[in-house]
Structure 1
Amino acid sequence: MKAHYKIFMIDQDKIFKTVIDLVTVIILYILLLALLVGVANILMDIKSIIFGTLGGGFGQIVSSVLTIFVLIDLFKTFVDFREHKEIRITYVTDATILIVMREIAAGVYDQRFDYQFILGLSTLLLILGIIKALAVKYPHKS
Protein backbone atom coordinates (compact mmCIF):
# COMPACT_ATOMS: atom_id res chain seq x y z
CA MET A 1 0.00 0.00 0.00
CA LYS A 2 2.86 2.44 0.74
CA ALA A 3 4.27 2.11 -2.80
CA HIS A 4 0.89 3.18 -4.15
CA TYR A 5 0.97 6.40 -2.09
CA LYS A 6 4.52 7.26 -3.24
CA ILE A 7 3.24 7.70 -6.77
CA PHE A 8 0.95 10.52 -5.65
CA MET A 9 3.39 12.20 -3.26
CA ILE A 10 4.58 15.61 -4.34
CA ASP A 11 8.28 16.33 -4.15
CA GLN A 12 8.09 19.84 -2.70
CA ASP A 13 11.82 20.49 -3.00
CA LYS A 14 11.72 19.73 -6.71
CA ILE A 15 8.73 22.02 -7.24
CA PHE A 16 10.40 24.79 -5.22
CA LYS A 17 13.66 24.52 -7.19
CA THR A 18 11.77 24.46 -10.49
CA VAL A 19 9.77 27.58 -9.59
CA ILE A 20 12.90 29.42 -8.38
CA ASP A 21 14.73 28.48 -11.59
CA LEU A 22 11.81 29.68 -13.68
CA VAL A 23 11.56 32.98 -11.80
CA THR A 24 15.31 33.65 -12.08
CA VAL A 25 15.28 32.91 -15.81
CA ILE A 26 12.36 35.31 -16.32
CA ILE A 27 14.13 38.01 -14.27
CA LEU A 28 17.36 37.47 -16.24
CA TYR A 29 15.51 38.01 -19.52
CA ILE A 30 13.79 41.11 -18.12
CA LEU A 31 17.18 42.49 -16.97
CA LEU A 32 18.69 41.71 -20.36
CA LEU A 33 15.87 43.57 -22.08
CA ALA A 34 16.29 46.49 -19.65
CA LEU A 35 20.03 46.60 -20.43
CA LEU A 36 19.37 46.74 -24.16
CA VAL A 37 16.72 49.44 -23.79
CA GLY A 38 18.99 51.40 -21.43
CA VAL A 39 21.90 51.35 -23.88
CA ALA A 40 19.56 52.43 -26.69
CA ASN A 41 18.34 55.33 -24.50
CA ILE A 42 21.93 56.40 -23.78
CA LEU A 43 22.69 56.40 -27.50
CA MET A 44 19.57 58.48 -28.14
CA ASP A 45 20.60 60.91 -25.38
CA ILE A 46 24.06 61.28 -26.92
CA LYS A 47 22.45 61.92 -30.30
CA SER A 48 20.19 64.54 -28.71
CA ILE A 49 23.15 66.27 -27.04
CA ILE A 50 25.10 66.35 -30.29
CA PHE A 51 22.18 67.95 -32.12
CA GLY A 52 21.32 70.20 -29.16
CA THR A 53 17.79 68.96 -28.43
CA LEU A 54 18.30 67.53 -24.91
CA GLY A 55 18.06 69.95 -22.00
CA GLY A 56 19.46 67.64 -19.27
CA GLY A 57 22.71 67.05 -21.04
CA PHE A 58 25.68 65.51 -19.33
CA GLY A 59 23.95 64.82 -16.01
CA GLN A 60 21.29 62.76 -17.77
CA ILE A 61 23.92 60.61 -19.49
CA VAL A 62 25.89 60.09 -16.26
CA SER A 63 22.71 59.00 -14.48
CA SER A 64 21.77 56.67 -17.34
CA VAL A 65 25.23 55.08 -17.44
CA LEU A 66 25.19 54.49 -13.68
CA THR A 67 21.74 52.93 -14.05
CA ILE A 68 23.18 50.54 -16.65
CA PHE A 69 25.94 49.59 -14.20
CA VAL A 70 23.29 48.86 -11.56
CA LEU A 71 21.45 46.61 -14.03
CA ILE A 72 24.71 44.83 -14.90
CA ASP A 73 25.39 44.16 -11.21
CA LEU A 74 21.85 42.86 -10.72
CA PHE A 75 22.32 40.65 -13.78
CA LYS A 76 25.58 39.30 -12.32
CA THR A 77 23.83 38.64 -9.01
CA PHE A 78 21.06 36.59 -10.63
CA VAL A 79 23.49 34.67 -12.88
CA ASP A 80 25.62 33.85 -9.83
CA PHE A 81 22.50 32.79 -7.92
CA ARG A 82 21.49 30.43 -10.75
CA GLU A 83 24.95 28.87 -10.80
CA HIS A 84 25.75 28.64 -7.07
CA LYS A 85 22.27 28.79 -5.44
CA GLU A 86 23.41 31.60 -3.12
CA ILE A 87 23.53 35.37 -3.20
CA ARG A 88 26.95 36.87 -2.61
CA ILE A 89 27.10 39.92 -0.39
CA THR A 90 29.74 41.56 -2.60
CA TYR A 91 27.40 41.72 -5.59
CA VAL A 92 24.59 43.16 -3.48
CA THR A 93 26.85 45.79 -1.91
CA ASP A 94 28.25 46.68 -5.35
CA ALA A 95 24.75 47.21 -6.72
CA THR A 96 23.72 49.24 -3.67
CA ILE A 97 26.86 51.40 -3.87
CA LEU A 98 26.11 52.09 -7.53
CA ILE A 99 22.50 53.00 -6.70
CA VAL A 100 23.66 55.50 -4.07
CA MET A 101 26.30 56.91 -6.43
CA ARG A 102 23.65 57.29 -9.12
CA GLU A 103 21.41 59.21 -6.75
CA ILE A 104 24.28 61.46 -5.67
CA ALA A 105 25.25 62.16 -9.29
CA ALA A 106 21.67 62.90 -10.30
CA GLY A 107 21.15 65.12 -7.25
CA VAL A 108 24.38 67.03 -7.73
CA TYR A 109 23.59 67.81 -11.36
CA ASP A 110 20.02 68.83 -10.49
CA GLN A 111 21.23 70.68 -7.35
CA ARG A 112 18.33 69.28 -5.33
CA PHE A 113 20.11 67.95 -2.23
CA ASP A 114 20.80 69.71 1.02
CA TYR A 115 23.91 68.96 3.04
CA GLN A 116 22.13 66.62 5.51
CA PHE A 117 20.98 64.33 2.74
CA ILE A 118 24.43 64.24 1.11
CA LEU A 119 25.97 63.57 4.53
CA GLY A 120 23.53 60.68 5.02
CA LEU A 121 24.33 59.21 1.61
CA SER A 122 28.04 59.61 2.30
CA THR A 123 27.66 57.75 5.59
CA LEU A 124 25.76 55.01 3.77
CA LEU A 125 28.55 54.77 1.19
CA LEU A 126 31.15 54.52 3.98
CA ILE A 127 29.24 51.70 5.68
CA LEU A 128 28.70 49.86 2.38
CA GLY A 129 32.41 50.26 1.60
CA ILE A 130 33.33 48.76 4.97
CA ILE A 131 30.92 45.85 4.39
CA LYS A 132 32.39 45.27 0.93
CA ALA A 133 35.96 45.37 2.26
CA LEU A 134 35.12 42.93 5.05
CA ALA A 135 33.32 40.60 2.62
CA VAL A 136 36.36 40.59 0.33
CA LYS A 137 38.84 40.14 3.20
CA TYR A 138 36.82 37.37 4.90
CA PRO A 139 35.04 35.51 2.09
CA HIS A 140 32.32 32.98 2.82
CA LYS A 141 33.58 29.41 2.50
CA SER A 142 30.94 27.09 1.10
Structure 2
Amino acid sequence: MIKHDDIFDTVIRYVTTVILYILLLALIAGLLKIFASLVLMIMGALDGNFVQINFTNVVFSVLTVFILIDLFKAFMDYREHERIRLTYITDATILIVMREVAAGIYAQKIEYEFILSLSALLVVLGAIRVLAIKYSPKETESLSLK
Protein backbone atom coordinates (compact mmCIF):
# COMPACT_ATOMS: atom_id res chain seq x y z
CA MET A 1 0.00 0.00 0.00
CA ILE A 2 1.28 3.45 -0.91
CA LYS A 3 1.61 5.88 1.96
CA HIS A 4 0.88 9.50 1.19
CA ASP A 5 3.53 10.71 3.62
CA ASP A 6 6.22 8.80 1.73
CA ILE A 7 5.08 10.30 -1.58
CA PHE A 8 5.03 13.77 -0.04
CA ASP A 9 8.52 13.37 1.43
CA THR A 10 9.89 12.10 -1.88
CA VAL A 11 8.37 14.96 -3.86
CA ILE A 12 9.61 17.54 -1.35
CA ARG A 13 13.10 16.04 -1.48
CA TYR A 14 13.18 16.25 -5.29
CA VAL A 15 11.77 19.78 -5.35
CA THR A 16 14.30 21.04 -2.81
CA THR A 17 17.10 19.34 -4.73
CA VAL A 18 16.08 21.10 -7.95
CA ILE A 19 15.79 24.43 -6.14
CA LEU A 20 19.22 23.94 -4.56
CA TYR A 21 20.79 23.30 -7.97
CA ILE A 22 19.06 26.37 -9.40
CA LEU A 23 20.33 28.49 -6.50
CA LEU A 24 23.83 27.07 -6.97
CA LEU A 25 23.78 28.01 -10.65
CA ALA A 26 22.50 31.47 -9.75
CA LEU A 27 25.33 31.87 -7.23
CA ILE A 28 27.93 30.89 -9.81
CA ALA A 29 26.40 33.22 -12.40
CA GLY A 30 26.29 36.06 -9.88
CA LEU A 31 29.94 35.60 -8.98
CA LEU A 32 30.94 35.50 -12.64
CA LYS A 33 28.97 38.70 -13.24
CA ILE A 34 30.73 40.43 -10.34
CA PHE A 35 34.18 39.38 -11.54
CA ALA A 36 33.39 40.39 -15.13
CA SER A 37 32.17 43.80 -13.97
CA LEU A 38 35.28 44.32 -11.87
CA VAL A 39 37.57 43.30 -14.74
CA LEU A 40 35.76 45.69 -17.11
CA MET A 41 36.01 48.51 -14.57
CA ILE A 42 39.73 47.92 -14.03
CA MET A 43 40.50 47.58 -17.74
CA GLY A 44 38.49 50.69 -18.50
CA ALA A 45 40.28 52.65 -15.79
CA LEU A 46 43.69 51.52 -17.05
CA ASP A 47 42.87 52.45 -20.66
CA GLY A 48 41.41 55.80 -19.71
CA ASN A 49 38.09 54.84 -21.31
CA PHE A 50 35.65 54.51 -18.47
CA VAL A 51 33.11 51.81 -19.14
CA GLN A 52 29.54 52.47 -18.17
CA ILE A 53 29.65 49.81 -15.46
CA ASN A 54 29.48 51.82 -12.29
CA PHE A 55 30.27 50.79 -8.78
CA THR A 56 26.61 50.67 -7.73
CA ASN A 57 25.94 47.73 -10.04
CA VAL A 58 28.77 45.82 -8.40
CA VAL A 59 27.39 46.62 -4.94
CA PHE A 60 23.90 45.44 -5.95
CA SER A 61 25.34 42.26 -7.42
CA VAL A 62 27.28 41.51 -4.23
CA LEU A 63 24.18 42.07 -2.08
CA THR A 64 22.18 39.85 -4.42
CA VAL A 65 24.76 37.09 -4.05
CA PHE A 66 24.51 37.38 -0.26
CA ILE A 67 20.72 37.02 -0.54
CA LEU A 68 21.16 33.91 -2.66
CA ILE A 69 23.61 32.48 -0.10
CA ASP A 70 21.06 32.94 2.69
CA LEU A 71 18.33 31.32 0.61
CA PHE A 72 20.70 28.44 -0.18
CA LYS A 73 21.41 27.99 3.55
CA ALA A 74 17.68 28.02 4.30
CA PHE A 75 16.94 25.30 1.74
CA MET A 76 19.91 23.20 2.88
CA ASP A 77 18.75 23.49 6.47
CA TYR A 78 15.22 22.50 5.49
CA ARG A 79 16.53 19.52 3.58
CA GLU A 80 18.66 18.31 6.50
CA HIS A 81 16.40 19.09 9.47
CA GLU A 82 12.97 19.37 7.79
CA ARG A 83 12.36 22.75 9.37
CA ILE A 84 13.02 26.32 8.37
CA ARG A 85 15.11 28.44 10.69
CA LEU A 86 13.69 31.86 11.23
CA THR A 87 17.16 33.41 11.37
CA TYR A 88 17.96 32.45 7.77
CA ILE A 89 14.72 33.92 6.48
CA THR A 90 15.10 37.13 8.47
CA ASP A 91 18.73 37.45 7.34
CA ALA A 92 17.66 37.17 3.70
CA THR A 93 14.85 39.67 4.22
CA ILE A 94 17.17 42.12 5.99
CA LEU A 95 19.59 41.86 3.05
CA ILE A 96 16.77 42.47 0.57
CA VAL A 97 15.68 45.60 2.46
CA MET A 98 19.28 46.81 2.72
CA ARG A 99 19.70 46.27 -1.02
CA GLU A 100 16.62 48.36 -1.75
CA VAL A 101 17.80 51.13 0.55
CA ALA A 102 21.21 51.14 -1.14
CA ALA A 103 19.58 51.18 -4.57
CA GLY A 104 17.39 54.11 -3.64
CA ILE A 105 20.20 56.08 -2.07
CA TYR A 106 22.57 55.55 -5.00
CA ALA A 107 19.87 56.40 -7.52
CA GLN A 108 18.86 59.45 -5.44
CA LYS A 109 15.23 58.75 -6.30
CA ILE A 110 14.03 57.72 -2.88
CA GLU A 111 11.63 59.64 -0.69
CA TYR A 112 12.04 60.05 3.03
CA GLU A 113 8.74 58.25 3.78
CA PHE A 114 10.01 55.16 1.97
CA ILE A 115 13.32 55.25 3.84
CA LEU A 116 11.49 55.64 7.16
CA SER A 117 9.22 52.69 6.39
CA LEU A 118 12.16 50.52 5.38
CA SER A 119 14.01 51.59 8.52
CA ALA A 120 11.04 50.57 10.65
CA LEU A 121 10.95 47.26 8.82
CA LEU A 122 14.66 46.75 9.55
CA VAL A 123 14.09 47.45 13.25
CA VAL A 124 11.26 44.92 13.38
CA LEU A 125 13.28 42.31 11.47
CA GLY A 126 16.26 42.89 13.74
CA ALA A 127 14.06 42.40 16.80
CA ILE A 128 12.62 39.21 15.32
CA ARG A 129 16.11 37.91 14.65
CA VAL A 130 17.31 38.68 18.18
CA LEU A 131 14.23 36.99 19.67
CA ALA A 132 14.64 33.99 17.37
CA ILE A 133 18.20 33.53 18.59
CA LYS A 134 17.37 34.14 22.25
CA TYR A 135 14.39 31.77 22.26
CA SER A 136 15.58 29.16 19.79
CA PRO A 137 13.93 25.71 20.02
CA LYS A 138 17.23 24.01 20.88
CA GLU A 139 17.79 26.25 23.92
CA THR A 140 14.22 25.89 25.17
CA GLU A 141 14.46 22.10 24.85
CA SER A 142 17.73 22.03 26.80
CA LEU A 143 16.28 24.31 29.48
CA SER A 144 13.20 22.13 29.91
CA LEU A 145 15.36 19.01 30.32
CA LYS A 146 17.28 20.49 33.29
Give TM-score, length-normalised by structure 1.
0.90
1:81 CA displacement = 0.3
Q: Which runs of 4+ in 1 moved over 4 A?
A: none
What residue number does 2:34 align with?
A: 42
The match for 2:66 among 56, 65, 69 is 69
* In structure 2, C-alpha distance between the alignment counterparts of 1:94 and 1:29, rounded to whole Å: 21
* In structure 2, C-alpha distance between the alignment counterparts of 1:54 and 1:24, rounded to whole Å: 40
Return the letter of the residue paired with 2:99: R
Give TM-score, length-normalised by structure 2.
0.88
Does residue 1:29 correspond to 2:26, yes or no? no
Structure 1 unaligned blocks of 5 or more: 1-8
The match for 1:85 among 67, 75, 82 is 82
What residue number does 2:101 align with?
A: 104
Does residue 1:116 correspond to 2:113, yes or no? yes
Q: Is the 8 A contact 1:35 1:68 kept in 2?
A: yes
Does residue 1:11 correspond to 2:11, yes or no? no
1:84 CA displacement = 0.2
Q: CA RMSD in A?
A: 1.2
* In structure 2, C-alpha distance between the alignment counterparts of 1:89 and 1:21, rounded to whole Å: 20
* In structure 2, C-alpha distance between the alignment counterparts of 1:46 and 1:56, rounded to whole Å: 9
Q: Is the 8 A contact 2:74 2:89 kept in 1?
A: yes
What residue number does 2:57 align with?
A: 60
* In structure 1, C-alpha distance between the alignment counterparts of 2:114 and 2:6, rounded to whole Å: 47
1:129 CA displacement = 0.2
Does residue 1:135 correspond to 2:132, yes or no? yes
How many corresponding residue pairs?
134
Tell me the percent identity.
Answer: 57
Q: Is the 8 A contact 1:45 1:54 kept in 2?
A: no
Structure 2 unaligned blocks of 5 or more: 45-49, 142-146
Return the letter of the residue paired with 1:122: S
1:56 CA displacement = 4.3
SS at 1:26's partner residue? helix
